[in-house]
Amino acid sequence: EVLLVESGGGSVQAGGSLRLSCLASGFTYSRYYMGWLRQTPGKDREGVARIYTNNGATRYADSVIGRFTIARSDPNGTVYTAYLQMNNLKPEDTGTYYCAADYNGARLWGGNPTAWGQGTRVTVSS
């Protein structure tokens, strides 16, 4: 059973920074996608950032390019930790961020991954 455990999040003022972490365990194979989806008020759930554990290839939502950086740890077997460094946060970044993982990157980015974290709240005040 795949398990995603998230940490991080919180409240900051606009321009501040936060870091999210997500530990993924239970995958059979070591090559998979990890990332974050977010649910913000009045918007559909959207992909924020994604990384492929095999080669570190990344993808970002246009709205976070230049502000957010996703990275992954060295592996421990098939276990990886992903990190999302969020800088220059804006009020529109406020929402619930869900760590997600899947062997299929498109399925993750489309908002329907096979594994979800518990979600963490990010609040950015102006």
As to burial, measured by CB atoms within 10 angstroms (0-12 exposed, 13-18 middle, 19+ buried), residue 101 is buried
Report pLDDT for 68: 98
Q: pLDDT, tens digit, for every residue of 72-111?
A: 999 999 999 999 999 999 999 999 999 999 999 999 999 9
Q: Indicate the helix (H) or strand (E) that contains 110.
A: none
| C-beta of residue 61 within 8 angstroms of C-beta of residue 115 | no
What percent of the chain clears pLDDT 90, i.e. is strictly above it? 97
Quick check: 42 pLDDT over 90?
A: no
Report pLDDT for 41: 84
Q: 3-state DSSP call for residue 105?
A: helix
